[in-house]
Amino acid sequence: MKAPTNGPHGNSIPKSEIGRLLQDYLNYLEIEKNRSPRTSENYRHYLLAFLGSTGVSRPAEITDSVVRDFRVALARRGIKRITQGYYAIALRNFLKYLAKRDVETLAAEKIELPKVPARQIDVLEYGDLERLLAAPKGGSLRDLRDKAVLELFFSTGLRLSELCTLPRTIDLRRGELSVRGKGDKLRVVFISGTAREATERYLAARAKAGGAGDADDRLFVSIDRRGRVIGPITQRAVQRLVVARATQAGIPNKIHAHLLRHSFATDLLVNGADLRSVQELLGHANISTTQIYTHLTNKQLREVHKAFHGKRREE
- Asked whether the predicted pLDDT for residue 22 surpasses 60, the reply is yes
List pLDDT tens digits, range 93-102.
999 999 999 9
pLDDT (average), residues 234-241: 93
> Is residue 219 very low, low, confident or very high in pLDDT (cuts 50, 70, 90)?
very high
Selection from 143-157, 166-180, 227-241, 280-294 with the highest mean pLDDT: 143-157
Percentage of residues in the chain having pLDDT higher than 90: 52
Residues in the chain, total: 315
Q: For the chain, what are the domain ranges?
A: 17-110, 126-301
DSSP state of 9: T
Asked if 145 and 202 count as a contact pair (C-beta separation under 8 A), the reply is yes
Contacts of 128 (CB under 8 A, 6+ apart): 246, 249, 251, 253
> Is residue 3 very low, low, confident or very high in pLDDT (cuts 50, 70, 90)?
very low
Asked if 125 and 211 count as a contact pair (C-beta separation under 8 A), the reply is no
- Asked whether the predicted pLDDT for residue 6 surpasses 80, the reply is no
Residue 37, pLDDT score:
81
Residue 30, pLDDT score:
86
> Which tops the pLDDT comparison, 94 or 171?
94
Alpha helices in the chain (DSSP H): 17-31, 37-54, 64-76, 81-100, 126-134, 141-156, 160-164, 193-209, 235-248, 259-270, 275-282, 287-290, 298-308, 311-314
CATH number of the 126-301 domain: 1.10.443.10
Residue 225, pLDDT score:
85
Are 17-110 and 126-301 in the same CATH fold?
no
Residue 303 and residue 41: Cα distance in Å, rounded? 46
Report the range of poorest mean pLDDT among 11-15, 123-127, 228-232.
123-127
Residue 180, pLDDT score:
86
pLDDT (average), residues 159-188: 88
Catalytic residues: 159, 182, 258, 261, 284, 293
pTM score of the predicted model: 0.65
Contacts of 229 (CB under 8 A, 6+ apart): 141, 206, 209, 210, 211, 212, 215, 221, 222, 223
Specify the CATH number for 17-110; select among 3.40.50, 1.10.540, 1.10.150, 1.10.1060.
Answer: 1.10.150
> Which tops the pLDDT comparison, 76 or 39?
76
Residue 88 and residue 199: Cα distance in Å, rounded? 44
Report the range of poorest mean pLDDT among 28-42, 115-129, 219-233.
115-129
- Asked whether the predicted pLDDT for residue 8 surpasses 50, the reply is no
Residue 307, pLDDT score:
64
Mean pLDDT, all residues of the chain = 86
Residue 4, pLDDT score:
43
Max Cα separation, the chain? 80
Residue 287 and residue 110: Cα distance in Å, rounded? 25
Residue 158, pLDDT score:
93
Residue 80, pLDDT score:
87
Q: What's the gap between Cα 59 and its chain centre?
A: 33
Residue 229 and residue 206: Cα distance in Å, rounded? 8
List pLDDT tens digits, range 61-70.
999 999 999 9
pLDDT (average), residues 131-158: 95
